[in-house]
Amino acid sequence: MGKPLEGIKIIDFTHVQAGPACTQMLAWFGADVIKVERPGAGDVTRSQLRHVEDADALYFTMLNSNKRSLTLNTKTEAGKEVLTKLIKESDVLVENFGPGALDRMGFSWEHIHELNPGMIVASVKGFSDGHHYQDLKVYENVAQCAGGAASTTGFWDGPPLVTGAALGDSNTGMHLAIGILTALVQRNQTGEGQRVAVSMQDSVLNLCRVKLRDQQRLDALGYLEEYPQYPHGEFTDVVPRGGNAGGGGQPGWVLKCKGWQSDPNAYIYFTIQGHAWEPICDAIGKPEWKTDPEYTTARARQDKIFDIFSTIEEWLSDKTKYEAVDILRKFDIPCAPVLSMKEIAADESLRKSGSIVEVPHPKLGKYLTVGSPIKFSGLSVEITASPLLGEHTDEVLTGLGYSADQIAEMHAAQAV
């Protein structure tokens, strides 16, 4: 069976993380993704945080697998000519330059649409068109702050906190991928391309919707019953940082297990799901709580939730996080160990499912990267190495009809 996106040609004008994460996923699913990079330099992440001298950094290799690399100085006439030809025969152009850069290059949406009416032009920007910050350049943590994640993450007595998950970058790329696929489906119906724009602020906000829910509840009630501040602490008029509290109707917390004094990740996340209260009492050796009206309902438990968590921590004190989860899973209690990256890298299940893969690479030998988190019954996603800078330049130019002499001239004309 062919790959679903086979035949879709994508000009990948992306760099750093937000855009590359999007186009990498489309490449995994079969699109021909041609990464256009500045000659001599390429995507800045090729050289950022290297761990092997003269080899592409993992930051680059882990966001650009399954692609081809074409070096092109699109500020030269020769480069513009090649880009024009590419636009005429491609389906999608994806970019995440700073605001206005594509227009300054001479490739406005109107011009691209004129060259190829079927083309989809997909962009990531920090803020959406017309937003009062639309001129700002944006990186990951800036977006986490602007999208509501930072003000609602962390502990109430500390500053706003960003998370290690790339909510601003990769998450925005995933939103953009959905937008591109939607526009491709619409093009099948109408024959027309369109612009698809996703802002990092909006993508973070989309994942923070429960906090917007909480703001409205707080406005109405003056308190939020599932937050640690309730009922003993104070609320102001803004959604507070809730530490490790569960964001839904099920109270939860990160609890210490055996060895927490020396192992920073000797913890589990423990959720007190309503229906699991009786099994929890049995599991932690507190059967008397099953019938005590002070404990039988979620509302009755709320004002002593941290005492309950302390009791569970006492029970956990002689169990490793793995032992604890193995006991609790038998009682149908939603929980998981807090896993370090070292543990995740070595996880046999993740390797078996293809969620973590080892990829051979000409300069790094091999490297570990994430595979597709989406599993299909009719597609097996194979991850191949990211391209070296300009690895496919001659191949792509030949495909566009350039002769060997013209390609040599092109290289000379584009020299920076």
**Catalytic residues, which ones?**
169
149 belongs to the binding site for ligand CAO (CB under 6 A): no
* Residue spans of alpha helices (H) in 137-275: 140-146, 170-190, 200-207, 209-221
Distance of CA 192 to the CA centre of its chain: 29
Distance of CA 272 to the CA centre of its chain: 28
Structure tokens at 394: 């001659």
Q: DSSP strand E in 327-411: where?
A: 335-337, 356-361, 365-370
16 belongs to the binding site for ligand CAO (CB under 6 A): yes
Nearest approach, Cβ of 221 to ligand CAO (angstroms)? Answer: 37
Question: Applying CB under 6 A, which part among 10-18, 53-61, 187-195, 258-266 lies near ligand CAO?
Answer: 10-18
Q: Could you say which of 58, 62, 72, 167 contacts ligand CAO (CB under 6 A)?
A: 72
Q: Could you say which of 27, 68, 126, 203 contacts ligand CAO (CB under 6 A)?
A: 126
The pair phi, psi for residue 13, each rounded to 5°, is -100, 35
Q: What's 71's DSSP letter?
A: E
Order across the sheet with 267-271: list the strands: 252-256, 267-271, 335-337
**Helix, strand, coil percentages, rounded to 5, for the chain:** 40, 15, 45
* Secondary structure class of 101 (helix, strand, coil): helix
75 belongs to the binding site for ligand CAO (CB under 6 A): yes
Structure tokens at 256: 């210490």
d(CA 271, CA 409): 65
Of 73 and 273, which CB lies nearer to ligand CAO in the complex structure?
73
Question: Applying CB under 6 A, which part among 27-35, 112-120, 133-141, 370-378 lies near ligand CAO?
Answer: 133-141
Nearest approach, Cβ of 168 to ligand CAO (angstroms)? Answer: 7
169 belongs to the binding site for ligand CAO (CB under 6 A): yes
82 belongs to the binding site for ligand CAO (CB under 6 A): no
Residue type, position 131, single letter: H
Q: Could you say which of 24, 61, 64, 96 contacts ligand CAO (CB under 6 A)?
A: 96
**Residues of span 207-236 touching ligand CAO by CB under 6 A:** none
Yes or no: say if 61 and 358 are a contact pair by the CB < 8 Å rule.
Answer: no
Of 72 and 183, which CB lies nearer to ligand CAO in the complex structure?
72
Of 372 and 393, which CB lies nearer to ligand CAO in the complex structure?
393
Q: Could you say which of 27, 120, 138, 204 contacts ligand CAO (CB under 6 A)?
A: 138
Question: Applying CB under 6 A, which part among 134-142, 243-251, 292-300, 332-340 lies near ligand CAO?
Answer: 134-142
Closest CA to 55 of 394, 386, 359, 356: 386
Question: Applying CB under 6 A, which part among 120-128, 176-184, 324-332, 400-408 lies near ligand CAO?
Answer: 120-128
d(CA 133, CA 142): 12
* Maximum Cα–Cα distance across the chain: 87
73 belongs to the binding site for ligand CAO (CB under 6 A): yes
Residue sitting closest to ligand CAO (CB): 98
Of 105 and 298, which CB lies nearer to ligand CAO in the complex structure?
105
Strands 252-256 and 267-271, bridge-based pairing: antiparallel
38 belongs to the binding site for ligand CAO (CB under 6 A): yes
Q: Omega into 231 within 30° of 0, i.e. cis?
A: yes
Closest CA to 183 of 244, 107, 278, 119: 119
| Contacts of 259 by beta carbon, 8 Å cutoff, 6+ apart | 266, 320
Question: Applying CB under 6 A, which part among 119-127, 214-222, 356-364, 387-395 lies near ligand CAO?
Answer: 119-127
104 belongs to the binding site for ligand CAO (CB under 6 A): yes
Nearest approach, Cβ of 391 to ligand CAO (angstroms)? Answer: 15
d(CA 409, CA 366): 35
94 belongs to the binding site for ligand CAO (CB under 6 A): no
Q: Could you say which of 97, 270, 309, 402 contacts ligand CAO (CB under 6 A)?
A: 97
Structure tokens at 215: 């703001």
Of 167 and 276, which CB lies nearer to ligand CAO in the complex structure?
167
361 belongs to the binding site for ligand CAO (CB under 6 A): no
Of 105 and 364, which CB lies nearer to ligand CAO in the complex structure?
105
Point out which residues bind ligand CAO (CB under 6 A): 16-19, 36-38, 72-75, 96-98, 101, 104-105, 124-126, 137-140, 169
